[in-house]
Amino acid sequence: MPANLNNYYGIDFGTTTSAVVGYMVMDHKPEQFFYGDDEGRPLPSVVAINKTTGEITTGREAWNKKMELSETCEYFSSVKSVLDRDTRTTIAGREWTPVDIAAELFKTLKTSVKERTGNDLSIATVAIPIGFSPEKRDKLRSAAAKAGITISSFVSEPTAAFFANYEELRSSPIVAVFDWGGGTLDVSILKNENGRISELATAGSNIAGDYIDNKIAQRIHAKIARKKGIELAFSDMPSSAQDLMLVRSERAKRALGDDDTATISINNYGPFGACRELLDYDWFADIVEPEVSMAVDCLKKAIEQSGVGLANIDRIVMVGGSSNLRPLIERMDSIYGEKLFFPDETMWNVGQGAARLAMTPGDYYSNQSIGIILSDNSFFALLSPDTPLTNWNMECHFGIVDTNEEARFVFGGSSDIEESPARFKSLSVPAYRFLQEQIILRAFVDENMVFKVIAGSTMRPREYRRVWDYSQLKCYYKLPEMRVEL
């Protein structure tokens, strides 16, 4: 028997950084690989396109020269947030959509895989935030496809983070995933019932690491300006000086994770000349206190929404680059103590989880009921709770009992559907009212987890068919039995 070498990939397509984690499995023994930028870190999710030449710069290089490149390039960050927008930007004679820009990041990730191991990244499981809309999922598929990558399935980022640390968390029924990265804070309360992962509550914020870096830079700039007696806003500084200040601020932030003081010095800070500022931890803690409080409050809010109470939270998984912020850790420790859990590779955790799920895929199950309210007010269920959603579909044949020229279906089964306006929860299908006429209704869940119903008369051509879709399908993820020893 051959060794049976297989490759599995998980992609964390983050707002600020993106990363690929791959497993090469031979003889049931997986080798883990991290694919990011040239410095071995996750790839900054930024794309700069030269306004004149159309040259594309992505990742770390674009991030390091953010301000400088902003002058000559169209600079795109947080493209994931705007994927579903129908914007078009013409740069150097070429029209760019958010999908095209996201495709450039996928291409860079694909190249990184090729350069690192010689393998071809062609299929992957992609982690997405909770509440990532079907439209965005569809666009993300398109962007990946443009880079030659097929998305086999989506998994929510908290679920991926949970699964990446499954060995440590499998005995914890309620887990909070606190994912604070460069661009967003995502908090999820997950319920784990023997591998059945459902989300009890979510909360989030767009204030994250990049925001904090920028805030520190501005605070330092203000101190320097005050000391030098020159009134000049940070935004009015030369872009290279801004870049330098941002880099120094980020380093100071990291340095203050271990030390009580950090120095920011810039030899030629524009009109300020040579500058130097000594930062102490207390000052820094005061500066980031609002963001830390916001993050802690966000977690509390999620816990409250979940309804399980703090006492029932077993573990809090701290992932994302900003989760290492010292003031945050001190605050969280004072509140949650031993419940805090810091994985080894916080930057790669989501990607790891996605890759593991690619290797041993689980399945989505419905966590709600969807059906039709019949003419006698009884409920006819199309989709019942705990139904596996992969390849699920159902076909029903209906007759017409009144004299209307249309068959009208009213959907229900969950409060959000039933409480929505009639036009959102009903579907009218043209009909002839013939005696033997039937309305065929076919229900299925598409690859982007949208519940769809296509209905049409047996006596009408295809163009008279009508579609009803429901994108807020509640489901849970059933983790697979672990078949590979990780």
Partner 1 sequence: MEAYIEKLNQLIAIKKNKGNKITKKEREEFLSAWGELIVAENGFSETVERYFYEGFVFAGAKPFVQWVLLSEDKFSAINSLFKGHFFGKDTPTSFRVLVSTLAQLIISNPTEKNLICPVIENIPSVSKTKENKTLVDGHKVILKYFISELNSSSLFPVLSELNIKPTVIRSFVEVFEVMINRLDLTSLSTKDAQKVVAINKWLHPDNEVEKAEKAELIVSQDSQNVVKERSEEVLNQVEQNPPRHFYNPYDQLISMLNETISLSRGLRDESKSTEKKCTVLQEAVSNFQREIEVLNNQLKTSKQREASLEKQLIDRGTQISGLSLQVKSLEDEIQKLTEVLEAKDQEIDQRTQMMDALSRDRTKQADEQMHRLASDLKVEYRDFHDAETLTMDCDLGENMREQLKNVFSILSKVGISLD
Footprint of partner 1 on this chain (CB under 8 A)? Answer: 1-5, 24, 26, 31, 33, 38-41, 60, 64, 115-119, 240, 244, 247-248, 251, 263, 265-268, 273-276
Q: Rounded to the nearest whole angstrom, what is the least distance from the CB of residue 68 to partner 1 in the complex? A: 10
Residue 10: how many CA atoms within 13 Å on its side-chain side? 31
In this structure, what token pair is assigned to residue 216? 């520190």
Query: Which is nearer to partner 1, 59 or 412 (by Cβ)?
Result: 59
User: Tokens 């169209």 map to which residue?
Assistant: 74
Q: Rounded to the nearest whole angstrom, what is the least distance from the CB of residue 116 to partner 1 in the complex? A: 5
> What does the longest C-alpha to C-alpha distance in the chain come to?
90
Q: Rounded to the nearest whole angstrom, what is the least distance from the CB of residue 318 to partner 1 in the complex? A: 23
Contact 153, 181 (CB under 8 A): no
Query: Which is nearer to partner 1, 284 or 365 (by Cβ)?
Result: 284
Contacts of 446 (CB under 8 A, 6+ apart): 452
Query: Which is nearer to partner 1, 93 or 118 (by Cβ)?
Result: 118
Query: Which is nearer to partner 1, 105 or 275 (by Cβ)?
Result: 275
Query: Which is nearer to partner 1, 254 or 460 (by Cβ)?
Result: 254
Q: How many residues does the chain have?
A: 486
Q: Rounded to the nearest whole angstrom, what is the least distance from the CB of residue 22 to partner 1 in the complex? A: 9
In this structure, what token pair is assigned to residue 375? 């003419």
CA dihedral 413, 416, 417, 420 (to 10 degrees): 150
Q: Rounded to the nearest whole angstrom, what is the least distance from the CB of residue 156 to partner 1 in the complex? A: 29
Instruction: For residue 342, give Cα distances in angstroms to 162, 395, 481.
Output: 12, 48, 24
Query: Which is nearer to partner 1, 270 or 320 (by Cβ)?
Result: 270
User: Tokens 């199950």 map to which residue?
Assistant: 365
Q: Rounded to the nearest whole angstrom, what is the least distance from the CB of residue 446 to partner 1 in the complex? A: 35
Instruction: Name 11's bridge partners.
Output: 20, 126
Q: Rounded to the nearest whole angstrom, what is the least distance from the CB of residue 173 to partner 1 in the complex? A: 37
Give the angle subtended at the CA of 204 by the CAs of 200 and 209, to the nearest 5°: 140
CA dist., res. 30 & res. 51, Å (int): 44
CA dist., res. 157 & res. 442, Å (int): 31
Q: Rounded to the nearest whole angstrom, what is the least distance from the CB of residue 321 to partner 1 in the complex? A: 15
CA dist., res. 433 & res. 407, Å (int): 9
Query: Which is nearer to partner 1, 269 or 468 (by Cβ)?
Result: 269
Contacts of 62 (CB under 8 A, 6+ apart): 44, 46, 47, 48, 69, 75
User: Tokens 């927008």 map to which residue?
Assistant: 85
Query: Which is nearer to partner 1, 182 or 456 (by Cβ)?
Result: 182
Query: Which is nearer to partner 1, 58 or 414 (by Cβ)?
Result: 58
Q: Rounded to the nearest whole angstrom, what is the least distance from the CB of residue 230 to partner 1 in the complex? A: 14
Query: Which is nearer to partner 1, 79 or 275 (by Cβ)?
Result: 275
How is residue 23 annotated by DSSP?
E
In this structure, what token pair is assigned to residue 153? 């399935």
CA dist., res. 83 & res. 141, Å (int): 11
Q: Rounded to the nearest whole angstrom, what is the least distance from the CB of residue 357 to partner 1 in the complex? A: 21
